[in-house]
Structure 1
Amino acid sequence: MGDREAAIQAAISDIDAGVFLSQRAAAKAYNIPQSTISTRIRGRQSNQASHVYQQRLTPEQEDFLVQWILEEDARAFPPSHARAREMANRILRMNGDHRPVGKHWMAAFLKRNPRVASVVGRKIEAARAEGATPVQISAFLELFERTRTRLGIRAEDIWNMDETGKALGVCANTRVLASSQKKKAYHQSPENREWASVIECVSATGKKLRCSVIFKGKSLQSTWFPAIIPEWLYTASENGWTSNAIGVEWLERVFLPETALLEDRWRMLILDGHVGKALATANIRAAQLETENRRLYSQLEALKPQQPRKKVRVDPNQRFADVDTIMVAVQASQLLQAQRDVNAEEKAAERTAAETAAQTLQSMCTEWQL
């Protein structure tokens, strides 16, 4: 029953109960034409009820189809338009009607059954869909609140990290049938395709860290990138997913440096089990200690006492030399220069004598040979 039909039935009930003394007052209260209320009181049926015989499926069969859609949606398997049409055709074949539903049947079906609607379906991993039970979610929320309260963790220090990506040849979002109370529905997707993964991290206050992109391959290739790329962390793995080494690298180069605090406070990092395998406790502790060591070393360097310059008191009257001191310095300089000249002359004489002796010895050897 639609909203308009429900309003008509409520207006007629209030008139019968004496809430309204006239049809005009009831029509004004429920924003319904008075003629509609008048014809209904006289026994006229609604358009939907009067055309039930023209429907391919009976109201009971359509109720069954609606319930099936809601159950599939609750299991994270919301049916697509084609799948719902196939179910309707199967019901018709059970009735002996082998003619498929028409191309406008889906629009009329949704109009007659406002409990379901056509929404955008988004993929979700099978493990996440199967693990998101009310019991597990309640247990997680209790553990989260207990840990946050015990350690006094602030909202800006709570971070959520997850791995997402794009599968080759798969459309991201499709139209599916789900509860009309939803704006979008999640449907499970297979995990056996090639992926280019992205590690994202955001805080409870909306602050985000640099993304880490993981390509499938042995190493990064320059042909994969355009001329201008964001300043993110880029790496590669054999399957395009997170590995132990990539997880530790993300901790050391992205999370720990970009969330470092000036004061000593706890930080909380929330991640799922798939990514958590790559970020083992030992790896997290090792990366944290290395970052802490670098931070403490920088603080120690900043705290080292600087050697102050020794201040010497100088008499302003003695800052410039007097005439006698200048004359003594000039005489000392002249004496030093004269001594250098004498030494140079002595070295020149010694060098000349050595050359003469060498020439004499050479001439004697020449005469002996002759």
Structure 2
Amino acid sequence: MPFKNDERELTLAIQAIQRDPTLRLYAVAKTYSVDHRKLARRLHGMQPRRDIIANSRKLSNLEESVLVQHILNLAAKGFPPRMSIVEDMANRLLATRDAPRVGSRWASNFVKRHIELQTRFQRKYDYQRAKCEDLEVIRDIYNFDETGFIMGVISTAMVVTSSDGWAKAKKAVPPFIVVAGKNHLASWYKNSRFPSDWVIAVTENGWTTNERGMDWIQHFEKHTKARSVGGYRLLVLDGHESHHSDEFEEYCKEHNIITLCMPAHSSHILQPLDISCFGPLKKAYGRQIEDMMRAHISHITKDDFFPAFHAAFNIAMTESNIQGGF
């Protein structure tokens, strides 16, 4: 006899056995025309398929739509989509209603359920990068990039990262310098003679983090908002994770900053700062260090680095070098 694949019949069979536990499972299954193996599994706690699907999705239809659109927006601007971004955004949505976090495979299953996302995670290059933004609408163009400086002699491997932004109008955004450390020292500011709008930030290893990335974009907003000509600012940057975290993208959207990611492995030919600014900067910095070595300073500390960087920056970051990059 063919079995009924009907949830209603299964429910009735389960209720019959619950009312009279002495009933034989096989006889009840035959009475309600359901598979006795499926009935046994349900009696032992297996959830209905509709409940399993609902639990695996976790997000409401509206929340899923928001997440899909967020991923598509990132991809349209050139950022390579990652499963970690999908998972992070989903957990942020769930946190707003105190719901449990998603599991380790949830993000990949989410992408599989949405056909429009699958090609975004499979394609290495997206042709949409070529037409990301309308230059007639965006009149303020900035480039953001990072470069490292090794302090000390051969045995020292401390790295300092300088984050700089330049406008096509050849106006500089004050540098944002990241050094390895936990606390700020007064001597850094006294000896460096940095202008008041230059920033020194610390991280445990001297590399940029998501938190420092948020600090920088707020620094960028502070120093470019008043000088903007159009309604939006275009910020050209690389694909580092700290440059397209969910918080970073949300902040940019709220402040009319449109981010455009360079294609992978192309910074040496497309990144304005790489092309014409960082080379002269490092060369000028090297001359500063050579002068220190002639003065018998054999180990470069942060107190030595800051004034050397200050002098090199003023020498190398000329209007012609900035314009040459664009």
Name the TM-score, length of structure 1 as normaliser: 0.30
Q: Highest relative contact order (Cα 8 Å, sep 6+), 1 or 2? A: 2
Higher Rg: 1
Name the TM-score, length of structure 2 as normaliser: 0.34
